[in-house]
Amino acid sequence: MEKSGDGVWTTSTDGDRKGQFYTFQVETEAGVSKEVPDPYAKAVGVNGLRGMVVDLAQTNPAGWDADRSPALPHPTDAILYEMHVRDFTIAANSGVRRKGKFAGVAETGTKNREGLTTGIDHLKELGVTHVHLLPVFDYYSVNETVQNNAQYNWGYDPLNYNTPEGSYSSDAYDGATRIREFKSLIQALHAAGIGVVMDVVYNHTMLGENSNFNQLVPDYYYRHRADGKFSNGASCGNETASEQPMMRKFLVESVLFWAQEYHIDGFRFDLMGLHDIETMNAISTALHFSKPDIILYGEGWTAGDTPLPEAQRSTKAHIGQIPGVAAFGDDLRDAVKGSVFDAKDRGFVSGKAGMEESVKFGIVAATQHPQVDYSKVNYSKAPWAAQPTQCVNYVSCHDNHTLWDRLHNSNPQDAVATRVRMHRLAETIVLTSQGIPFLLSGTEMLRSKNGVENSYNSPDAVNQIDWSRKTNFRSVNRYFKELIHLRKKHPAFRMSEAEQIRQHLQFLPVSGGGLVAFMISDHANGDAWKKIVVAYNANRTPVNIDLPQGGWKLISDGNRIDQKGIKPVGGVQFAVPALSAVILAE
């Protein structure tokens, strides 16, 4: 290659090189590098060891030009469903033929052994708006040369950022096949009315010294400690330096490539706190210009200390400085079920006292509200979201225990039926709060990982979705479906501006702990219902709430939901059942 202006090295070649593989090797002051792929490579061979020349137009499935993303007027209209490609289809009872593959997730007409829908048809039936796919870029830890390899990983060990993972493909040796099959999956989800969010992990790489970045431009793409060693804010051995101009350029161009070439609808940024605010704003600006209804969110924290100054970190405390980007609300997560740092700690639904203000904080999506006492919120002593579109509410995700396993840990003495009520109450809080709701795949059927907390490399027996649970917990699955439909039908639950929440959402006075109630008034956000009352009772006995004047009807009694009304409600008080959420409307 020859050096040209601005430090760019170029070469040109004659003839059709499609399908040929290539690597780079450079000579620097440190010596001659290893052979590595182009960090910008759009296609790679098996195990990502070589770049591959590809004609991307020829990777498009039939009808790709007509593929359209589902509309998303506001981020708060999204209902996110986090899933892993392999988990979703690998179980023997999934009814999927191409288990563990992109193509398997795209299959329709699949059923479990009892004849209930599975796979993509289950997602349509459930009503979620977006699937959040755990890493599907090319990652390091699974050997792609072994067909039907039982080896498992979540994929937070990046190798090649701009090409799909080969172990999810029917042919990992041909770089074009994995591209075509991933596009076909996206196309199938779009046809089902479901958007696609990619989980992206730009904050670190699996390899440090031997990474593609470091072999070609030693030390440039990473942060270092004072002693010259890699800094480790990701707790994975290294952290990338988003503030470096070429790293920032790489991040912006990479997400744009995925959005434009693959029709991706959103991105979740792993350890977003390690990215500097200027870079996240550059990403948000570029993506929103290309696709105005893109949805962007991330982890608003780091995993360890970092040389990046605190004021420059894209943490949840600074999310108000990054318009168009949301952060996960760990305040509500731990308030509802207990701290993730103590596997037996209880939360609001499982019997811990003093969590009411933290739950209220989540209900208003971490925004400013005059009725929240921020001094009593578990983590954040001030609102951090400028708008509800900047807060993702959740109680479980791939990290830590599933909600069902957590409730078993914290409340082992309780009967299954009692824990089912806790579980339903917890997710009702998520789906009736303002902000963006986020669900772990399988939570709608009480997903268990056999008690394993950090299952990043656990076998399929631990991680797989067991589709028999949909049959065994049919009433829970039906409740989730009705609750999701309720949220989608009623815009009062998904206001897009903080001022709307302050105007229309009022917390009701309650007596005693373990009880939170609020009213949404005046056809909020154009809702057909004039007024809505929601009450969460985490007590083991029914508790009365005082009802504002009105002609109320009971919409949900905590077990079932009927938007036409289960029954009319008279009087000035209403008894909220134990361990339940109720919804009333006028």
- Residues with a catalytic annotation lie at 270, 299
Residue 37: φ, ψ to 5°? -70, 165
Helix (H) or strand (E) run with residue 161 in it: strand 158-164
β-bridge pairing 505-507 and 515-520: antiparallel
Rounded Cα distance, 161 and 254, in Å: 7
What is the token pair recorded at 261? 């070439």
Rounded Cα distance, 243 and 222, in Å: 10
Q: Tokens 């040209």 label which residue? A: 4
Rounded Cα distance, 75 and 385, in Å: 13
Residue 79 φ/ψ region, left for φ over 0, alpha for ψ in the -120 to 50 degree band, beta for the rest: beta
Give me the helices (H) in 67-219, please: 85-89, 102-105, 119-126, 175-191, 212-216
Rounded Cα distance, 433 and 363, in Å: 4
Decide if 142 contacts 153 (C-beta within 8 A): yes
The 8 Å CB, 24+ separation contacts for 117-124 are: 118/94, 118/467, 118/470, 119/88, 119/89, 119/94, 119/95, 120/188, 120/189, 120/192, 120/194, 121/192, 122/470, 123/81, 123/189, 123/192, 123/194, 124/192, 124/193, 124/194
Task: Provide the terminal-to-terminal Cα distance of the chain, rounded to the nearest Å.
Answer: 72
Q: Alpha-carbon dihedral of residues 305, 308, 311, 315, nearest 10 degrees?
A: -60
Residue 508: DSSP 8-state: P
Decide if 346 contacts 409 (C-beta within 8 A): no
Per-residue H/E/C for 359-412:
HHHHHCCCCCCCCCCHHHCCCCCCCCCCCHHHEEECCCCCCCCCHHHHHHHHCC
| Number of neighbours of residue 17 by Cβ within 10 angstroms | 12
What is the token pair recorded at 135? 């890493």
H helices, E strands: number in the chain:
15, 24
CB burial readout 377-398, b (16+ within 10 A) else e: bbbbeebbbbbbbbbbbbbbbb
Rounded Cα distance, 235 and 227, in Å: 18
